[in-house]
Amino acid sequence: MASTQTRIALIGSGFIAEVHLMALRSVPGVLVTALCDTVRARAERMARRHGIEAVFDNVDALCDARVADVVHVLVPPGAHFAVARRCLERGLHVLVEKPMALVVEHVDELERVAKAQHLVLGVNHNQSASPAVVRLCDHLAAGRLGRLEHVAIVHNVPLRQLQTDDVSHFMFQSEANILFEQAVHLFSIVHRLLGDCRRLAVVTGEPRTLGNGARFFDDWQMQLVCERGTASVRMALGRTMPESTVHAIGSDGAAFADVLRNACWLRRKTRWLDFLDAGRNLAGGGLHLLRRGAMAVLGYGLALFKLRGPEDPFLMGMQTSLGEFHEAVRTRRTPRNSPAAARETLRMCTLAAEAAGASSEPVTLASAPPSPFPARPGEVVVLGGAGFLGRHCVAQLRALGKPITLLVRRPRLLPAELQDPSIRVFAGDASDPVALQRAFAGAAYGLHLATVAGDDARRIESAMRDGVAAAAAAARQAGLKRLVYASSTAALYLGGAEPLCGGCGPDPLPATRGAYSRGKIAAETALRSARQQGLDVVIVRPAVVLGSASSLEHSGIGLWVRDNHCVGWGRGRSPLPLVLGDECARGLVAALFAEAAKNRDYNLAGPVRITASDFVQELRIKTGRDYRFHPTPILWMWLQEVGKHLVKALAQKPREFPSLRDLRSRSFSAPLDCADAERDLGFRPEQNRSQFLRRLFAMVESGGEPQVASREPARSAVVAP
């Protein structure tokens, strides 16, 4: 080695690079010296955060600089082979994120190059190095289970991208990719415990069709016959209860490893009578689980104050896996997660895909939209049109026969119903003045539905304000007749008792509110300035908008600490201002054209006012799930938040001081008066409670897909002149 420390370069600076950097802090004798990413600005941002000096935008430049001994290949899986081979050819040891490659022959080629260059090559199978699996392996090595006969793995997990219909990830780019992304973890455990696979059979659930047209299997049941025993693997994705377990059964004992909760309960035969044998095993398991439960709480506290590393099984598995590889580099030995392990887990994935008839061919993404043609008379520009509410608004506009322009970040990933040649599509960010200027040129109306999310409170507020100000400036410059902005009732103070109409204005004390509310208030203030400069701006504040699976756990209902546990903003007795997504869209579209709406503000909420506790009970009845509502006095909730704030402050993890006024506003004790929206916009939401709930659950079950059929004829107020 060129120094006493192993110098590491990370190639790729996405999410997984952050995890590698965290894990490498606990690996002795290593130093990250460089980052490489084709998007240099992204690598530079990460380098600044972590104090890394060297940044490169191509692999050859990194190799030429001789600033690293080892590279971690963290690029998308389709590029693993080419990048890893180039680095091996240039004399660098290589660790590749799973999978090492997408075809077995490429693993063979990488192994050949590594041997020819006398270099160490490994793959990051981190789940096979998770603490619970390591303890299971220790039990096996000590002979406590006797001869291992069968392994049963259950992987029942949520998948955020499925819920949000984000099909841009690698795992959705072919039917088989989910195996290379998720099943590779499970097969790496099978290989570690049982060796190579001899036979594999698969049963899948019915596939769903994704937004990109690919079939997606979310339920896989696989049976394997391996060198040293049999295995069953159940992989269920997009589920609400996270469970990832390994049950190993041997000739003389069994062990149950809970991967997510970092526990491994051992059961063994004893010399005692059956009832004593059962009692001894249960007591031993109970003591183990009690110790693990205590350590989960204590470990979190110690990690918070930086007295030890995080008690996070995922991160601990990463630390072990990376540590094993770098120990192999130092000793010039073959790592446990070797090319042989990479080859066999990849072969299992390939066999599973073949057995299920899942194609490995990439789906054909929608071609980039053609260059937008000139704006048509009455052109409506929609910002945020690809979102849940935006898609409903576009459906309403199309039903009215209006010409539509969309400004979206990734045009190739538009939902199928928006891939229409009659819709003009511009690529860009809704806060970029140049992109806004292009989209608004020649248009007549603008509908601003885009919003900002994130964890940085300061950024949310400024980004909302600046983005809306940029849109207003571009709209004024383009001569738009009207800009409609979808604000939120979060801009109001709803903790009082007096009814609030649309024109009542936002909370006069924004400094006492949370970041999101401050951002909406600041955005409305910027738009009022635009009104003074001659732009017709209509501000519409939707209340609690429902209609998709993700909106059922809406923050307007309460604080969802789990997807089935809702902590109330108060005791949950105040009627909530609910509105269905399609009805909200109808009101927003009406605001574009109604003459009486000029420079006015409106609130949008339906007359069906269900309390939070009743709503959660309706969810429980309808879905059969164990939904729970936890009424919590506002003051007590605030005191809990203050306690969390103080602990975070002591741990030097600053966060915003909790706002009591913000919590009181979330209780919705002040009723919303929507009479002006009814008068000016023809806003006629559902009034019957049972019909409201029927329509809501019908929308959710259909995936929240936009429907353009109206319940009643549109009033003249919603038709453009």
Tokens for 187? 């097969």
- Report if residue 536 sits inside a domain: yes
**φ and ψ at residue 156, rounded to 5 degrees:** -120, 100
pLDDT in tens, 142-199: 999 999 999 999 999 999 888 777 787 889 989 999 999 999 999 999 999 999 999 9
**271: amino acid identity, one letter:** R
User: What CA–CA distance (Å, rounded) separates 426 from 439?
Assistant: 6
Q: Is the peptide bond before 433 cis (omega within 30 degrees of 0)?
A: no
- Expressed in percent and rounded to 5, the helix, strand and coil fractions of the chain are 45, 20, 35
- Find tokens 């741990």 and name the residue: 651
d(CA 507, CA 662) in angstroms, rounded, equals: 10
Task: Assign 597 to helix, strand or coil.
Answer: helix
Tokens at residue 190, please?
A: 């099978």
Using pLDDT thresholds of 50, 70 and 90, give the confidence band for residue 650.
confident
Is 401 inside a domain boundary?
yes
Q: Who's near 235: CB < 8 A, 6+ residues apart?
A: 155, 182, 183, 186, 219, 220, 222
Asked if 349 and 179 count as a contact pair (C-beta separation under 8 A), the reply is: yes
In a domain, 631, yes or no: yes
Q: Sorting pLDDT into bands at 50, 70 and 90, what band is 456?
A: low
Q: 669 and 574 in contact (C-beta within 8 Å)? A: yes
Tokens for 600, please give them.
Answer: 């006015």
Give the model's pLDDT for residue 364.
73
- The answer to whether the Cα torsion of 420, 423, 426, 431 is positive or negative is negative
Is residue 212 in a domain? no
Report how far residue 671's alpha carbon sits from residue 663's, in angstroms, rounded to the nearest whole number: 16
Q: Which residue has the higher pLDDT, 300 or 264?
A: 264
Over the Cα atoms of the chain, what is R_g? 29
CB atoms inside a 10 Å sphere around CB 406: 24
Span 91-100, average pLDDT: 97
Q: From CA 444, how far away is CA 437, in angstroms rounded? A: 13
Is the Cα torsion angle 532, 491, 514, 446 positive or negative in sign? negative
Residue 707 binned pLDDT confidence (cut-offs 50, 70, 90): low
Q: What are phi and psi of 391, to 5 degrees?
A: -65, -35
The pLDDT value recorded for residue 716 is 29
Contact, 514 vs 666, CB < 8 A?
no
Is-contact 487 389, C-beta < 8 A? no
437 is a domain residue:
yes
- What does 250-310 look like in DSSP terms, one character per residue? ESSEEEEEETTTTEEEEEE--SS-HHHHHHHHHHHHHHHHHHHHHHHHHHHHHHHTTSS--
Read off the amino acid at residue 528. R
Residue with tokens 């063994």: 268
Q: What sections of 159-225 are H helices per DSSP?
A: 160-164, 177-178, 184-194
Distance CA 543, CA 252 (A): 61
Number of neighbours of residue 268 by Cβ within 10 angstroms: 17
**Residue 395 CB partners (closer than 8 Å, separation 6+):** 417, 582, 585, 706, 707, 708
CA–CA separation, 87 and 119 (whole Å): 10
State residue 326's pLDDT score. Answer: 97
| Residues 457, 458, 463, 466, CA torsion sign | positive
User: pLDDT by residue (tens digit) across 266-315?
Assistant: 999 988 888 898 999 999 999 999 999 998 888 888 887 777 778 899 99
- How do residues 532-586 score in pLDDT, each as one tens digit? 999 999 999 999 999 987 788 899 999 999 999 999 999 999 999 999 999 999 9
* pLDDT at position 213: 79
* Domain coverage including residue 117: 6-123
pLDDT at 218 exceeding the cut of 50: yes
Report the C-alpha gap between 3 and 1 in whole angstroms: 5
d(CA 99, CA 346): 7
Question: Do residues 230 and 121 touch, judged by C-beta distance below 8 A?
Answer: no
User: What's the mean pLDDT in 448-452?
Assistant: 87
CA–CA dist 125, 336 (Å, integer): 10
Which of these three, 80, 101, 123, is where a domain ends?
Answer: 123
Query: What's the rounded Cα separation, in Å, for the pair 17 and 73?
Result: 9
CA distance 16 to 10: 10
The Cα–Cα gap between 133 and 251 comes to 19
Residue 3 is predicted with a pLDDT of: 53
Q: How many domains does the structure of the chain reveal?
A: 2
Q: What is the C-alpha separation between 561 and 455, in angstroms, rounded? A: 16
Would you state the pLDDT for residue 310?
A: 80
552 close to 562: Cβ distance less than 8 angstroms: no
Residue 660's SS3 state is helix
Last residue of a domain, one of 123, 138, 153: 123
Which tokens in the block code for residue 400?
A: 């009215």
- Give the span between the Cα atoms of 407 and 440, in whole angstroms: 9
**Choice between 677 and 165, residue whose per-residue pLDDT is larger:** 677
| Angstrom distance (rounded) from CA 293 to CA 597 | 58
For residue 345, list its beta bridge partners: none
Query: How many Å apart are CA 303 and CA 300, to the nearest integer?
Result: 5
CA distances to 159, 174, 221, 600 from 156, rounded to whole Å, are 10, 21, 11, 49
CA distance 477 to 678: 32
Is residue 60 a part of any domain in this protein?
yes
Q: Which residue, 496, 488, 480, 577, is CA-closest to 537?
A: 480
- Going by pLDDT thresholds of 50, 70 and 90, the confidence category of residue 352 is very high
The answer to whether 232 and 189 have CB atoms below 8 angstroms apart is no
Interatomic CA distance for residues 249 and 252, integer angstroms:
8
Over residues 321-325, the mean pLDDT reads 97
- Is the confidence at residue 717, as pLDDT, over 50? no
Residue that the structure tokens 């007549």 belong to: 444
Work out the mean pLDDT of the chain and round it to a whole number.
Answer: 92
Q: Are residues 189 and 246 in contact, defined by beta-carbon separation less than 8 angstroms?
A: yes
**499 inside domain:** yes
* Confidence band for 365, pLDDT divided at 50, 70 and 90: low
Q: Is 265 exposed, middle or buried (0-12, 13-18, 19+ CB in 10 A)?
A: buried
Residue listed under structure tokens 């009591």: 660
Question: Tens digits of per-residue pLDDT, 60-70?
Answer: 999 999 999 99
pTM of this prediction?
Answer: 0.86
Question: Is 563 within a domain?
Answer: yes
Give the domain-ending residue among 63, 88, 123: 123
Q: CATH number, domain at 87?
A: 3.40.50.720
Residues in the chain: 721
Q: State how beta strands 380-383 and 445-448 pair.
A: parallel
